[in-house]
Chains A and B, each alone.
Chain A
Amino acid sequence: MEEKINREKYKTLGYNVLTLFLFLAIWTLAYWLIKSPFFPSPLMVFNAFLELLIHGDIEDVKLGMHIQQSLWRIFGGFAAACILGIPLGLLMGLYGRVYDSTKVLIEPIRFIPPVAWIPLVIVLLVGYFRFVFIIWLGAFFPIFIGTLLSVRGVNPLHIEVPKSFGASRFYIIRNIVLPSVLPEVLTSMRVGLGIAWECIMAAEMIGGERVGIGIMILKYAQLIRMDAIIVGIIVIGIIGFGLNEIFIFVEKRIFRWKEVVSI
């Protein structure tokens, strides 16, 4: 059985490698057909990647630095979203009254895209907190709403068993509600992190800084250097993918009692 699963794994891996090669082949073909200075080949992009990695960009900032800065900003915004979103979600899930009474405020804010806040943020905040705020806006709602819904989705039977033994509210929250919502909270954190990372461009559009993967893309956009821009785009994609995979890995490790881990 295990052998079979392993074989399946390698098969999937093989198909993915094939997909990648096919994509690169089509890209190269398109390059030959289009023949435009604004459409680089995979090889040119790869060279730009090496250049950025080793020598840095036009201001001599290396790619690693850009990535590091962006990740640091994401981390700040994401942590803020978790610290606020999870307890608030738990509270409002447990006490439906609080959510129902604050709906008028929460729901409209949810639908304002983070980009819309940029002018305000430029005026009101400085430095690191500008980035954190924009990313926080993106990540907060998936985490908050996910947590809230997971609390409401706790199996009532699991609550009634201790209740029928005369358990206190505190016991039930600690021993039933928290462990039961944890997987879904983690899933919503994963979604939140994904969105936080997606917001990096929006956040770094604020300007005023020299380092960051989004800023790097903007720099090269002014020069119309497509190869470097594409490097930036691909790096964003790959890091997002990597973060997601790490999260899934952690989820699988923690929830051994769960039958399936959602993807």
Chain B
Amino acid sequence: MEKELIDVDLSMKFDSLSVLENIRFKVHENEFLVIVGPSGCGKTTMARLLAGLQKPTSGHVTMRGESISPKVHNISIVFQEPSCIPWRTLWDDITMGLVIKGVDQSAIKKRAEEVIKLVGLDGFEEYFPKQLSGGMKQRVAIARAYATNPDLLLMDEPFGHLDAQTRYLMQIEIMRIWEKEKKTVVFITNNIEEAVYLATRIIVFSKLPARIKAEYRIELPRPRKLTTPEFLGVRSEVTEQCEVVER
């Protein structure tokens, strides 16, 4: 039933520092996979490897049997840091991926209008990033990533810089978007509550050098509530597996 999309089997070193060790997992089509781990454990490196922006020291990342590359595959990434291009209006920013991929004008217009509506930014098309709040900027980044209909949508701690409340709103939002337009998502976070709220499956990374510590399939019904005993139970279980970074 589950179609395999991506196969990961790799190790990564920076000079002599081992960052990722024997990371081996698969990503299935249309799943919402969350990778959770303590800060500074190499999660961002994992995201860059999955995006094909970096090559592993050994091993491979393949999508449908082919080594992953942004020039070949349709991948989108949402970064933790605000990545809106300051001199582009919201419209120009969101259509960037479509323009690069050579989509024709009328299709660009149609799709951009669609995703702008999807993230609830209609009316802000001519705004520059400096005129938007932190939450809105991240929505632009999400819309930009969604616009190209990616086969793989990567999100690297996309809500890390938002305050706890805006973060909850964005989590609800991303779930709503995902349920409307199912995509294969790999979502990276250090927030366990967020992981349990969003994921169909969770992979827990250890601290540096990162290994896979545990894997959970989350089958709680949606929309999930943060304070049900079942939710809190799963959350505690995952928390147990996460390590505390002392240094």
Q: Is residue B231 within 8 Å, beta carbon to beta carbon, of the partner chain?
A: no
Q: Is the CB of A164 within 8 A of B87?
A: no
**How would you classify the secondary structure of chain B's contact residues: helix, strand, loop or mixed?**
loop
Q: Is residue A42 within 8 Å, beta carbon to beta carbon, of the partner chain?
A: no
Q: Is residue A97 within 8 Å, beta carbon to beta carbon, of the partner chain?
A: no
Within 8 A of A (CB), among B85-118: 85-88, 96-97, 100-101
Contacts A157-B79, A259-B130 given: A165-B101 contact, CB under 8 Å? yes
Query: Which of B76, B85, B97, B101: most chain A CB closer than 10 A?
Result: B85
Interface string of A142-182 (1 = CB under 8 A from B): 00000000000000011011111111000100011001100
Contacts A160-B53, A257-B128, A259-B130 given: A165-B96 contact, CB under 8 Å? yes
Question: Size class of A's contact patch?
Answer: 20 to 34
Q: What is the total number of residues of chain B having a CB less than 8 Å from a CB of chain A?
A: 26
Q: How far is the CA of A157 from the CA of B101 in the complex (A)?
A: 19
Q: Is the CB of B85 within 8 A of A163?
A: no
Across-interface contacts of B148 in A (CB, < 8 A): 165
Partner of A164 from B76, B85, B86, B130 at Cβ < 8 Å: B76
Q: Is the CB of A164 within 8 A of B96?
A: no
- 7 pairs from A and B in contact (CB 8 Å cutoff): A157-B79, A157-B81, A161-B83, A165-B75, A165-B76, A165-B101, A175-B96
Q: Measuring CB to CB, which residues of chain B are less than 8 angstroms from any residue of chain A?
A: 51-53, 69-72, 75-77, 79, 81, 83, 85-88, 96-97, 100-101, 128-130, 144, 148
Q: Measuring CB to CB, which residues of chain A are less than 8 angstroms from any residue of chain B?
A: 157-158, 160-167, 171, 175-176, 179-180, 255-259
Which 9 residue pairs across A and B have the least CB separation, nearest first? A166-B70, A165-B97, A257-B87, A166-B71, A167-B100, A165-B100, A164-B77, A257-B128, A157-B83
User: Beyond A163-B53, A180-B87: 12 further Cβ-contacts under 8 Å?
Assistant: A157-B81, A157-B83, A160-B77, A161-B83, A164-B51, A164-B53, A165-B70, A166-B70, A166-B71, A166-B101, A176-B85, A257-B86
